[in-house]
Amino acid sequence: MPDENEINELSNSDWKFVLGDVRGRRVIKELLDISNVFESNEYTDIIAVAKCEGRRSIGIHISNKVLNIAKNRFTQMFEEAQAVNNEIEKEENV
């Protein structure tokens, strides 16, 4: 049975694999977007706040994984997303 260190190494290898491909980075970026990790919570209802904070907690975990394992992929992920958005806007304005 693998020990904790081996499990962490395997997990890190998996994250590097996912982040090594543009499709994987798009999926991770989508998860960060839906987790609202970069947004503030403006709800007053305690249940809504709890749901938002739960999603945000997962987004923070994902962000930390990316930053700790492949920091350069974090900015690359956002640059690629911006390039796609720019292309979409360009096509809409034609």
Res 16: pLDDT: 96
- The backbone region for 41, taken as left when phi is positive above 0, alpha when psi lies in -120 to 50, beta otherwise, is beta
> What does the radius of gyration of the chain's CA atoms come to, in whole angstroms?
16
Note the pLDDT tens digit of each residue in 28-47.
999 999 999 888 878 888 99
Res 39: pLDDT: 83
Res 87: pLDDT: 87
The domain spans of the chain are 4-92
Res 9: pLDDT: 95
Mean confidence (pLDDT) of the chain: 92
Q: Which amino acid is at 40?
A: S
What would the mean pLDDT of 13-24 be, rounded to a whole number? 96
Q: How many CB atoms lie within 10 A of CB 77?
A: 21
- C-alpha torsion 50→51→54→55, nearest 10: -150
